[in-house]
Structure 1
Amino acid sequence: MNWLADFFADPANWSGPDGIPLRLAEHLEFAGLALLVAAAVAVPLGLWTGHTGRGAAAVTLAAGAARALPTLGLLVLVVLLTGVGTLAPVLIPLVALAVPPILVNTCEGIRGADPDLRDAAYGMGLRGRQVLFGALVPVALPLVLLGLRTAAIQVVATATVAAYVGLGGLGRYVIDGLATQDYPRAIGGAVLVAGLALAVQGLFALLSRVAVSPGVSRRHAR
């Protein structure tokens, strides 16, 4: 606990180019951009496969294969191919990490909607996108948000790898602290990453309460 006090009580750690506010902003930039790109790819694809039923098995297999990719190994490979100095070496592994849970949960959320609900929507004269967005997406929203939450937590925790390629973020404290045997710095960085992951989880829990209708929430709670 003294190590934590040494790190967080030091005014030098709260200002300047290596201060906690700047490192936190960098970490959120990496994680937020990766999550945004992953959601832009995975949510539409998950909606389409779930609604049409085409390629659902392939999506599940591809997502499982992507989960098996070692993030650090992929990072090193991208660095060898593209070099350092850009966000690509960090974003590509993080996006690859975030896509599977979003894609699978979105697809399964749409596929798992009550068939009677789908039939009723078509019976009311709705077609195609109207059925998808008017009837199925509201029911699937809890699973979609669960996929986004899982991806966000994984990305926030893994974005520390940015420090391996000379970029910033909270991982800078962990990597530099271990390299110089400055253990208060390393432990403080790890605590900051864990706290940020918990904050993201709380944010998505609040978002679920606001965005999901009470009836759908009760149905998923059973």
Structure 2
Amino acid sequence: MARGRAVARRSVAAPRCWRRVTLADLARTVHFRSTELKGLEPSLEATVHFTNAQPWTFTNGAHLAVVEIDVDSGRVRVLRYVAVDDCGRIVNPALVEGQIAGGIAQGLGGALMEHCAYDDAGQPLCGTLMDYAVPTAADVPPLELHHLETPAPSIAGGYKGAGEAGTTGAPAAILNAVNDALAPFGAAITDQPITPERVVNALRESGRG
């Protein structure tokens, strides 16, 4: 492939006598006149094998949550959520924002309400959305999303993932905010989801509930 054309390998060194065809003509021939390609398997696929010195990449970010806790009922309400993520080179900003916002909503659900419960026989007790709580739009505060763009050095295009950032950052940000709010009472929570019952129990165990 050279200069937008398919070029015979032996012709590359002699540009003036290239045996060449445009990519459009090549695609048209393969698709509509494949019988003319005698002795060839008509296909526009290519397979290349190579070893990458660093065959992975990951997203970096920082998430911050501000919460309010009703110490009588144990209810946790997220007042503010700020996220700064570095997803590498951003191609579609709206898509990236949607991925991160959706991941944060999922992370909030895991941190505050989603829980798979089973009875002594191993049967699920939350087989429907009547029993398994998931976050709604009313549970997600306005999100303040910011971006950095540090291209991944070993990935073509410098791209990184986006959707995982919110899901992994939110549970830790929420738990840290809750424990920061409970610290003056000498209480702390280590398990998720952070249900009102767990908050009330933590306050009682600290002698402040």
Is TM-score (shorter-chain normalized) higher than 0.5? no
Q: Between Structure 1 and Structure 2, whose CA radius of gyration is higher?
A: 2
Q: Which has the higher helix share?
A: 1
- 1 or 2, which has the higher strand percentage? 2
Per the normalisation by structure 2, the TM-score is 0.25
